[in-house]
A and B are shown apart, each in its own frame.
Chain A
């Protein structure tokens, strides 16, 4: 999740123009999202709902719903990676189109599956 957060920071910096646009940097952010989206499902094994966690009990109560949310995140991250091509999204508009659906998953998933 920290990797996702760092990629979101880079994405927002590019989108807001605080970081000059670079296809290479943009692709790096997208590929980070993609890597996390493929690994994330295995971060919540049975029993890890105990102790110091902000994870919502719904992850374990509604595993099908959680998996469905992850699948959508993965699909959009894969699509963004595909759209990036070999050298990254050519311009800011292309990057915005590719990354916006991915960023939408942060809050969508945290709404249901995190406590705050």
Chain B
């Protein structure tokens, strides 16, 4: 009897292990998908670089000017799952991504997989970048290659058990990694709003901070851009849907002007982490800011999903 029970337990555990192994397998791009990537245009890639905000995490904290192009990493993101350290993504061959191929880069952005096949933590916002077009990823890669190589490996992530089991990320990816739109725009949405959807939901990765998350840390599509706790500590990230509780009173022009100048319609200024992001977006062509603004007027208005009870309102 005992032997039978032991055997049964072994079978159950082994089956679970095999299932876990199978379900959490890295899923890289296949050959046909990789064929869509090619040597990109660095000049076009610079626009994607600012839109994706690479330097806000991968340059030294508070870098300005040329220093924003030195992507040595080192910024620490303290989260409920542990402390993640933004790695060196400069073209340094030893410590950065100088030896990466375009396929390596595409797999990192689209599938959250490192060149050695291990899964990347979603602190790197590939659950948004997965929506990027191969052309934009190719151009971005070409631009990154033109930046100065910076020597120096960053500290490893400090992530406690069980989140240190990389394979577990596969489960998260199975649940939350896809390239489908986060919201369905109305049929009659303008071409401008649709262009904005690609910018906001993809490279711009606005939802990563502005959308609340499930207990497994996936973005909730039904609370899309409706506000969230500040991932870096105190305070709330605001609701930017076109509801009264969000930015419904802002015109499309107001939103575009905010992204350009950092001033709200009542001439309060941008603050906190958004300062860096706004200054990145200010470097884009005006047509991109107009598209982002059109999209933010077209998405469903939602009540605020999270309010900081201590410090909300003006």
Contacts and interface: CB of A to CB of B under 8 A. Distances in A.
B26 to A, nearest CB: 37
Of the four ranges (under 10, 10 to 19, 20 to 34, 35 or more), the interface on chain A belongs to 20 to 34
Given A52-B310, A116-B235, A116-B236, A111 B267 contact: no
Interface in B261-282: 261-263, 266-276, 278-279
A75 interface: no
Interface residues of B, number: 27
B311 interface: yes
Contact of A106 (B262, B266, B272, B279): B262
B227 to A, nearest CB: 11
B271 A52 contact: no
B272 A115 contact: yes
A43 B234 CA distance: 21
A27 to B, nearest CB: 18
Contacts of A115: 230, 234-235, 271-272, 311
Contacts of B271: 54, 107, 110-111, 114-116
Given A107-B269, A115-B235, A116-B237, A8 B263 contact: yes
A6 B267 CA distance: 7
Given A107-B271, A115-B311, A54 B235 contact: yes
A106 B263 contact: yes
A64 B303 CA distance: 40
B73 interface: no
A56 B271 CA distance: 10
A53 B278 contact: no
A85 interface: no
Interface in A86-101: none
B272 A12 contact: no
A16 to B, nearest CB: 8
Contact of A107 (B235, B266, B275, B313): B275
B269 A110 contact: yes
10 contacts: A12-B261, A52-B312, A53-B311, A107-B271, A107-B278, A110-B269, A111-B275, A114-B272, A116-B236, A116-B271
Q: Which 7 A-B pairs have the closest CB atoms?
A: A110-B271, A106-B269, A115-B235, A111-B275, A9-B267, A114-B271, A8-B267
